[in-house]
Amino acid sequence: MLFSLAWRNIWRNKRRSLIIISAIAAGLLCGLFASAIMFGMGESLVTSTINRDLGHIQIHSSQFEDEKLLTDTIPNPQKIVEEIKEEKNIKGITSRIVIEGMGSSATTSNGLRIVGINPEQEKSVTNIYEQIVEGNYFENARRNQIIVGKKLAENLGIKERSKIVLSFQGFDGSIIYGAFRVTGIYQTESTAFDRVNVFVREKDLLSLLGSQMISHEIAIRMNSEQSADTLYSVLKSEFPTLSVKSWKDLAPELKLMDEMIDTQLNIFLGIILFALLFGITNTMLMSVMERVREFGVLMAIGMKRRRVFSMIMIETISLSLVGAAIGMVCASILIAYFGSTGIDLSTFAQGFTAWNLSPVLQPRLPGTFYVSITIMIIVIAILSAVYPAIKAIKLKPANAIRTY
Amino acid sequence: MGTYVSLAWRNLWRNKKRTLIAAASVFFAVLLALLMRSMQTGYYNYMIDSSVRTYTGYIQVHGKDYWEKRSLEESMELDDQKVKEVNEIEGVTQTVKRFETFALLAYKKVTKVAQVIGIDPESENKLTSLKDKLVKGEYLKKDSKGILLAEGLAKLMNTDIGDSIVIYGQGYHGVTAAELVPVIGIVKFTLPEQNKGFSYLSIPYAQWIFSAPNRITSLSIMIENQKNLDEINEKVKNLFNQPTEHSGNKYEVMTWRELTPDLVQAIQIDNAQGIIMLGILYLVIAFGVFGTVMMMTAERVKEFGILISVGMKKSRLFLVTTLETIFISFIGVTIGAIISLPIIIYLVNNPIPLTGEYAEAIIAWGFEPILPFAIYPGMFFAQIWTVLAIALLSGLYPINFIRKLEPVEAVRG
């Protein structure tokens, strides 16, 4: 009863109701779409970092992280890899040699992170092989091939097939030089990554070092985020002497950025809703003031003040929810559309890659967001209705009836 | 005109609460917008400032192609006369010579890649306060034969003052550079990138180690006010385009915008994001103002009818209703600006220090954990124009309404 009364009241002044409904709808549409873009950015930042080099879990020797020395190797890496392979939900696992060194071209040199990989295994963990823009990914079997980032190639002034000399310290402390030929150039979302990381075959490094199989880093890729958490705790107890870390520990700033974006979005939407509060209050205030006589009559014929109060509340909530529903439906359609096609901002590409972002934005918003928005809008509606509703029930029926 | 103003002003207060609520919504938006713009601009200025101080200078002179190739082959000879001439350009506060290259630093069994920077100790200190960052040992002198290591780097190499480390690298014309150098001081940086990878030599010593006598890689120029950037840049360019007799070197002059396009675009993106958010906020506020104006119009049909019947020109009514909308919005803008001004001035002088997890993350991204603010007249004007636009657009509604009004019917309404 009360509800249908409230519903009809909304449509008595169509234009006024439509104004506030469009305000809510437009505010939410823009707000949600902007949020989806930011959320999508945050998510692509995380997934691209995981795909590019981290994997979900990494294992190092316990000193490696601080010292990054050649001697900080993982003992018995093959055995560990075989053991971990037995676990469930593993998409890929790979062992790497990581050496800090220098790369020199004919003209100049640069500090590098030299990563010795097993090309086939690496494919199952990271997607560098998909990011080759020139040349190929270790396609032929020749010795001493190297894959470098595009940014590094620019800095060193080298091209595909150029020669580059890597220098780094060997086990006995002497400096080892090795000439490599560039067979591939990759480009990821992150220029910082591209500038320092070069990939060579593990066995080429081992022969330069004159060493048996060694490993500094074991990276694991899981089928899903959840299974990564489970395996993480399993491995942590299984290898107490090694340092086992999830991507969240490896890139804490990334995890935090993810959280920061979440907070930021909530604040942003909160501000928009707060701005709507003024509009909704004003609309309801006007609606109540126009109907002073009507409220007087209702109360005079015995409608309880509590019910008048609830009626105004219901009016406000339904009004807001209509706007919210329109806004959310439009937003979700837009988000779904652009989420699948992507928004290409390549003209700004340099700035995006400085922040490790892909220039193609894919807006996305998790379903929970819509739920929390709906709750927030109901709260806002209730807050805006309080003042007009109190004004209505404070009316004295005897006077109100005489107001025209 | 005065009559219309006071008429409009009185009309506003016929329903006090409604006017105040609408004005409050504008006030809220303006306050928020000003704080947000202040914070964003403050942060951009800070990023630019720290980037130009540590890395590039507002304007940089270097050998042709040096910026692209970053090799000693593109280093340059620069005589003191030229440097003096640059310093004499109006608006230039300081110039700093640097000799930068990459090298391997080795101590016992540990080798690290580091950026080796040859500096003029005094002018470098004036620019980056390097001396204050010294935690151990002593600072460089003009031609010290020793190296300053960043604290993190020294720790990684397990070395300390008094030890001698080996510098390996590629010198000028591809000559191998290798030299045993004593560590004379340790400097500590906040940013990990610097703290784990920077080392400093005096310029003459660096030139000797890398077989590049009298050569430097860059001359960074600091200026007093960014507004004069282009003008000063032109003057510096003119200075270096004149062919010099004694050196066949070609020079290149670039501003920080050309030197660090990544930074420029990162700022542009963030700025655009901020403006879009404020745009959405103002959109919502505009609906609120529009709604209020609409109600004010709707409830006065009869009044308008009478006014027109007794001979008031419609054009004058337009003026009154437009003034009303402008007043409502400008109450909000004025109060918003007045209240935010002291807050912003306070924040400009007292940047908010960040702590905890966020601070660490910001350090990891390469910035110092503070939230600086900035103030400039433009940000107030931007809000005023925006609100004025909202007011004028909303003001169209009553104008259109009155234009269509038939006095005969309206009077009976």
Interchain contact, A169 vs B28, CB within 8 Å: no
Q: What is the pLDDT of residue A386?
A: 94
B97 lies in the same domain as B207:
yes
Q: Is the pLDDT of residue B399 over 70?
A: yes
A284-343 residues touching B, CB cutoff 8 A:
285-286, 289-290
Per the prediction, chain A carries an average pLDDT of 87
Task: Say what the pTM is.
Answer: 0.78
CA-based nearest residue to B209, from B182, B183, B181:
B181
Whether B175 and chain A come into contact, CB under 8 Å, resolves to no
Whether residue B232 is found in the same domain as residue B90? yes
Q: What pLDDT is stored for residue A183 in this prediction?
A: 94
For residues B270 and B375, membership in a common domain is answered with yes
Q: What is the pLDDT of residues B308-356, one digit of tens each?
A: 999 889 899 899 999 999 998 899 999 999 999 999 999 999 888 877 7
CA angle A324, A326, A332 (to 5 degrees): 95
Of A219-223, A258-262, A367-371, B86-90, least confident by mean pLDDT is A258-262
A256:B18 CB<8 A: no
CB within 8 Å of chain A, chain B residues 9-68 = 15, 17-18, 21-22, 24-25, 28-29, 32, 68
Task: Please name the amino acid found at residue A370.
Answer: Y
Same domain, B88 and B194: yes
The mean per-residue pLDDT over the stretch B217-240 comes to: 90
> Which domain-ending residue is among B249, B279, B294?
B249
Least confident of A9-18, B115-124, B362-371: B362-371
Q: At what angle do helices B314-349 and B261-298 cross, to 10 degrees?
A: 140
Domain stop point among B192, B227, B249:
B249
User: DSSP letters along B368-401, please?
Assistant: -SEE-----HHHHHHHHHHHHHHHHHHHHHHHHH
Q: Hey, is the C-beta of A3 within 8 angstroms of any chain B C-beta?
A: no
Among residues B249, B279, B295, the one where a domain terminates is B249
pLDDT classification of A17: cutoffs 50, 70, 90: confident
Average of per-residue pLDDT values in chain B: 87
Percent of chain B with pLDDT over 90: 37
Say what the pLDDT of residue B223 is: 92
The length of chain B is 413
Chain B contact probe: residue of A107, A266, A283 with most B CBs at under 10 A: A107
Residue B182 has pLDDT above 90, yes or no: yes
Task: Looking at the structure, tell me whether residues B117 and B233 fall in a common domain.
Answer: yes
Q: What pLDDT shows up at residue A25?
A: 92
Residue with tokens 């709906």: A374
User: Is B75 found in the same domain as B46?
Assistant: no
Which of A202-211, B130-139, B178-187, B402-411 is least confident? B402-411
The whole-angstrom separation of Cα B94 and Cα B126 is 9
Most confidently modeled of A171-175, A199-203, B223-227? A199-203
Is the pLDDT at A104 greater than 70? The verdict is yes
Asked if B392 reaches chain A (Cβ–Cβ under 8 Å), the answer is no
Taking only residues 115 to 174 of chain A, the set having a beta carbon closer than 8 angstroms to any beta carbon of chain B reads 154-155, 157, 167-169, 173
Considering the domain architecture, whether residues B223 and B292 belong to the same structural domain is answered as no
Q: How far is B71 from chain A (nearest CA, A)?
A: 5
Domain count, chain B: 2
Q: Which of B110, B280, B287 is opposite residue A34, by nearest beta carbon?
A: B280
For residues B98 and B240, state if they share a domain.
yes
Query: How far apart are the CA of B197 and the nearest CA of chain A, in angstroms?
Result: 10
> Does residue B96 lie in a domain region?
yes
pLDDT exceeds 90 at position B170: no
CB-CB under 8 Å, B292 with A260:
no
User: Quick check: is B258 in a domain?
Assistant: no
Q: Is the ipTM of this complex over 0.90?
A: no
B261 or B367, which is more confident? Answer: B261
pLDDT of residue A64: 86
Q: Is B106 on the interface with A (CB under 8 A)?
A: yes
Write down the pLDDT at residue A145: 94
My answer on whether B193 and B292 are in the same domain is no
Q: How far is B70 from chain A (nearest CA, A)?
A: 7
Is B10 within the bounds of a domain? yes
Decide if B59 is inside a domain.
no
The 10s digit of each residue's pLDDT in B245-302 is 555 557 889 999 988 887 887 788 788 888 888 898 898 888 888 888 888 888 888 8
Chain A contact present for B301, CB below 8 A: no
B14 lies in some domain: yes
For residue A197, the model assigns a pLDDT of 93
Hey, which residues 27-66 in chain A have their CB within 8 Å of chain B?
Answer: 27, 30-31, 34, 38, 66
- Give the range of the structural domain holding residue B47, as residue numbers without chain letter: 2-51+263-412
Who among B103, B110, B277 is closest to A34 (CB)? B277
Q: Is the pLDDT of residue A279 over 90?
A: no
Q: Which one of B102, B111, B299 has the shortest CB-CB distance to A168?
A: B111
Contact predicate A113/A195, CB 8 Å: no
Cβ neighbours of residue B19 closer than 8 Å, sequence gap 6 or more: B12, B13, B292, B328, B331
Domain annotation covers residue B298 = yes
Let me know whether B198 and B291 are in one domain: no
Is the predicted pLDDT of residue A402 greater than 90, yes or no? no
Whether residue B11 sits in one domain with residue B89 = no
Confidence class for position A350, pLDDT limits 50, 70, 90: low
Would you call B281 and A275 a contact, using CB atoms and an 8 Å cutoff? yes
pLDDT (0 to 100) of residue B366: 64
The model's confidence at residue A389, banded by pLDDT at 50, 70 and 90, is very high
Specify whether B47 is located in the same domain as B115: no
